[in-house]
Amino acid sequence: MTDPHWLTASEASRAFAAKTLSPVELVRHLLKRTEALDPKLNAYIRLDAEGALDAAHTAEKEIGRGRIRGPLHGVPVGVKDIFDVATLPTTCHSKVLIDHIAKTDAVSIQKLRQAGAVIMGKTATHEFALGGPSFDLPFPPARNPWNPDHHPGGSSSGSGAGVCAGLFPVALGSDTGGSVRNPASACGIVGHKPTYGLVSRRGVFPLSFTLDHVGPLTRTVADAALMLDAIAGHDPEDPGSTATQARHFGRLLDRGVRDLRIGFVRHFHETDMPAHPEVTAGLEEVSRVLQAEGAEVRTVKLPSLDEFRGINRVILSSEAWSIHAPWLRERPGDYGQLCRQRLLPGAFISAGEYIGAQRRRLQLIAAVEDVLRDVDVLLCASSMDPSSRLDDEPETSRTYPRQARAPFNVTGHPALAMMAGLSSGGLPVSVQFVGRYFDDATVLRVAAAFERATPWHKKHPPIG
């Protein structure tokens, strides 16, 4: 059998059913692996070993009685530390909330528990999902399993690092400007930002009310579909939640891409923000593979990457300031330097500028919608560079914003990032697929076809 720590959620579920592995055995194995590896990676803020073992024992007993809640029954999950998990701290990686204990579960956690999942603990993030990677916070920043001297992306950094390193098969993250897809890109895993409104954000500490999304990080596309099946659904108490018939997100995974039309947004990485040559080569190879699989790939044009990013920045800064202003006035020293620097510009954005950004946002949405009338899915860059060294602050500051993820927080379209190859330095390079509203199933379909046709999902970091 595959080493237990490299089992996908789907494989673990099948092993439980076949009685070749039990949830308790898997959790114990992962706890031992965490003890050995996490001192090098800092993926966890809070490991809940006792709670995980209790939940695994419950799942095992239910399996023995023939009660299987679903394909995530007994499957371990890591949770970004901006999600409330009852009785555990929700610190947001910040001194500001260092003593905050959650009283109830976030809706997404409730749904995972209903599906039988085992919550392993809380994972590292950037401070309030914004300020990082930083060394002046109560907890150290997470590190990249492919090379622990490099960052793992963020802000769902511990979730990405933990999935990549085999500390848990799947995890939850949040995505406001790319924070699920950045760790997926840096760590060579799958990160899916669902359609805006598809997954409830209630019980998740907000960064930007109109840009925030909740999504899964996994090692395979099939597991991303399983996670989305578990956490999607209308929540009338989340103002951004949408009632939709979208469900069964893995139903198209085996269909392939024959006769699908793929729109390649080349100008993002060729002219708007020229990418590292190895990223460019990886994207061209993705295009070639999809064409070989039967898709039609054509070049398409969207508004400039700079315009999308500018609108994202105005909206995010304004809404984040509205959340953090009282604490920033009363206890600014409790924030890390990076988070404080990134929050303060919101104080100087006028109401007129915010409203103007929201109006231009509607025009950008219309432009993307217009292109998606002629193609089924967009193909574009995610990160423009492989991950930089954590100790190289100038290079991290230069490369971290070099990305094409923010446009789809502005528009709310579903977007998935995944591994497209390895750089000459042994670090992942990535690709992003984007689809129509609530057609997450087709985005997953294209990603699954690329995954089947390439070896990258079978590659693991050389960490043990």
CB 280 within 8 A of CB 270: yes
User: H/E element holding 31?
Assistant: helix 23-41
The tokens describing 231, both together, are 């956490």
Helices 157-165, 23-41: axis angle to 10 degrees equals 120
Closest residue by Cα to residue 172 from 195, 210, 201: 201
Burial group, residue 301, by CB count within 10 angstroms (0-12, 13-18, 19+): exposed
CB 426 within 8 A of CB 147: yes
Closest residue by Cα to residue 193 from 180, 211, 204, 206: 180
- Phi and psi dihedrals of 386, rounded to 5? -65, 165
- C-alpha–C-alpha distance, residues 34 and 159, integer Å: 13
Annotated catalytic residue within 13, 174, 179, 318: 179
Q: Is 141 left (phi over 0), alpha (psi -120 to 50) or beta?
A: beta
Name residue, tokens 């769902």. Answer: 156
Annotated catalytic residue within 80, 111, 122, 193: 80
| Sequence-separated (6 or more) residues with CB below 8 Å from residue 71 | 9, 10, 13, 115, 226, 229
Q: Please calculate the CA angle 372-375-377 and round it to the nearest 5 degrees.
A: 80
Which of the 8 DSSP states describes residue 141? Answer: P
Q: What 3-state class would DSSP assign to 191?
A: strand
CB 222 within 8 A of CB 452: no
155 is annotated as an active-site residue: yes
Q: How far is CA 464 from the centre of its chain?
A: 23
| Catalytic residue list | 80, 155, 179
